[in-house]
Structure 1
């Protein structure tokens, strides 16, 4: 029976800056387009082949607009493609703590979003640009 993993202290790095202290949710969905390769010879069944791969870096942060903190780090990146890395744990990369690395377009930033009396949070979904790799060392 497989080991279960509880997400407690994920590692979130964007543009060579560790943003783990602000993060409270992380997701890296990767997809492959299914291309139709059906022909008259397919016997009445659809045939599919893998096409282009794509992904998105989905993060939720506890916002801080204080000088040198989250907003001042991400704001200047808007519209640029930067490197990222996600790991389940803040420990070093290993076979049981792989790092998923790549680049993402910082395509959206919402500096203020919240309700009275609540901690400001910001949700982002940034498209990946180029390959995403799974690294264990």
Structure 2
């Protein structure tokens, strides 16, 4: 069984490739838990509810034109929906390099954070809208 060391994730937000500005990535696939327990069983029962997927990206902040803040602030400010795409590597999409795509909205953004001498980083959560995150292998 092959193992993967994350070295070259390919990450785009609203069509901008930020792979060179992101130090960590999470893809969270979540469904609400709907309890359906009734008197006929001996334990709890559940069904899956609505999706509540998200991407969590840790950006190394950059205030230059076309970079992190110039892309994220307008998405937050204008409440615009946009696409996030994450792949384990920069290679073409395949069974061994799937792409994860979601239509997102930016509800919280912290453009500046850190202590003296620290790298300016900002962790951003991108919740998905409606259909959640899709996975493609071709």
TM-score by length of 2: 0.92
Structure 2: distance between partners of 1:103 and 1:66? 25
The residue number in structure 2 matching 1:92 is 92
Q: Name structure 1 gaps, 5 residues minimum.
A: none
Structure 2: distance between partners of 1:72 and 1:51? 36
Q: Does 1:38 align with 2:41?
A: no
Q: Name structure 2 gaps, 5 residues minimum.
A: none
Structure 2: distance between partners of 1:89 and 1:20? 10
Cα drift, residue 30 of structure 1: 0.9
User: Equivalent residues in 2 for 1:39-118 (5 A)?
Assistant: 39-42=38-41, 44-78=42-76, 79-118=79-118
The residue number in structure 1 matching 2:26 is 27
Cα drift, residue 118 of structure 1: 1.7
Cα drift, residue 130 of structure 1: 2.1
Partner of 2:100, secondary structure, is strand
Structure 2: distance between partners of 1:126 and 1:64? 18
Cα deviation digits, residues 86-117 of structure 1 (max 9, x gap): 01101111110000011111112211111111
Segments of 4+ moved more than 4 angstroms: none
What's the Cα RMSD here? 1.2
Structure 2: distance between partners of 1:134 and 1:102? 9
Cα drift, residue 71 of structure 1: 0.9
Structure 2: distance between partners of 1:49 and 1:119? 44
Structure 2: distance between partners of 1:35 and 1:56? 19
